[in-house]
Amino acid sequence: MKIALITDQHFGARNDSLVFVDHMEKFYNNVVFPFLIENKIDTVIDLGDTFDRRKFVNFNTLDSAKKMWFDRLRDCNIHLHSLVGNHTIYFRNTNELNTIDQLFKEYENITVYSEPTDVSFGNLKLTMMPWIHNMNYADCMEHIANTDTRVLFGHLDLSGFVMHQGVVQHHGMDTKPFEKFELVCSGHFHHKSRKNNIQYLGNPFELTWGDFNDARGFHLFDTETLDLKFIQNPYRMFYKVFYDDTDKTMDEVVEKDFTNYENTYVKVIVQNKSNPYWFDLMLDKLYKCNPANVSIVDDNKNLGEIDDEEIVNEAEDTLTIMRKYVGSSSLNVDAVQLNTLLTSLYSESQSLDIE
């Protein structure tokens, strides 16, 4: 049996940005559903964080998510098995009140897992493990210890894995209880990675500059062989354009192909600009392709830095910003220890209920 796996869709990301809604729709319409239909997939497992906000859902986001995802699955007779993640629970210490249960009860093709459950798919029985927190930790650990399944699908916060490029989680759960399984697949961290038997699937699309040039997509899982096939999302949201007119002609500078940059975020990094007129011509060509946002950065050895407005809007890049500050600081401190402390404080702040 072949099952499609997807995770961390975060409908409503970036303050319910319509640009990101369009980006997601293009992915589902042109990549996901053609693949599901062509391969006759009738089962999809969502490993959590289907929506971005815990406390509320924007009406336009809800309507868009239904049209591009939930309605399409129902109309194609595809059953969705959805794990509760940390972004889809209202209270942080219980999974009972969650987004999917509250908003999609009318969909008979959706099964929600808010507590540990063993489920059979074809000839394979596997464990569905939702978000683990203080209140359900003992029950989850007991289930993991006692189950006889070979595979676990979860939304796990495990130590030692890359959360997003360059940032490793050092304060998550120990991986030892999960060593008994032949395969563990998890959502939660948006960077796709694997260590031994544990595979973080990664989310389907770029959501912040921290995702730049990091492969995104979904997976096809074979219940007989336990093989995972990665189906990469060909659409990107973030682009960098490096401008350098040294030893170049005007045609070489201006004739860049920006046709894929419509409704994307573009960072123009100026390395050398000896002819402002050529630079303006290049920018004019870029703007004619209708990018959603263009920022211009002079190369001062901080090519990954983002402007103040983006810093405010991109919470997931906070750790990257802090690490870069530590790296460039002249303070007489241990940079590794300081980064560890900042990561710990950031993770703790994310667990606070601030209305």
Q: Report pLDDT digits (tens) over 297-324.
A: 987 545 544 443 443 344 344 666 777 7
Query: How far out from the chain centre does Cα 344 lie?
Result: 21
CA distance 208 to 60: 21
Residue 294 pLDDT > 60, yes or no? yes
Read off the pTM: 0.84
Query: Which of 267, 242, 269 shows the shortest CA–CA distance to 256?
Result: 242
Tally the residues of the chain: 355
Say which residues have a Cβ less than 8 Å from residue 335's Cβ, sequence separation at least 6: 326, 327, 329
Residue 329 CA: distances (Å) to CA of 332, 335, 340, 345: 9, 9, 16, 19
Give the CATH class of 2-232. alpha beta
Q: Where are the beta strands (DSSP E) in 108-245?
A: 110-113, 117-121, 124-129, 151-155, 162-164, 167-168, 183-187, 193-195, 198-200, 217-222, 228-232, 238-244
Q: Report pLDDT digits (tens) over 82-133.
A: 999 999 999 988 998 999 999 998 999 999 999 999 999 999 999 999 999 9
Residue 176 pLDDT > 50, yes or no? yes
H or E element at residue 159: none
CA distance 304 to 209: 8
Q: Hey, which residues does 120 pair with through a beta bridge?
A: 125
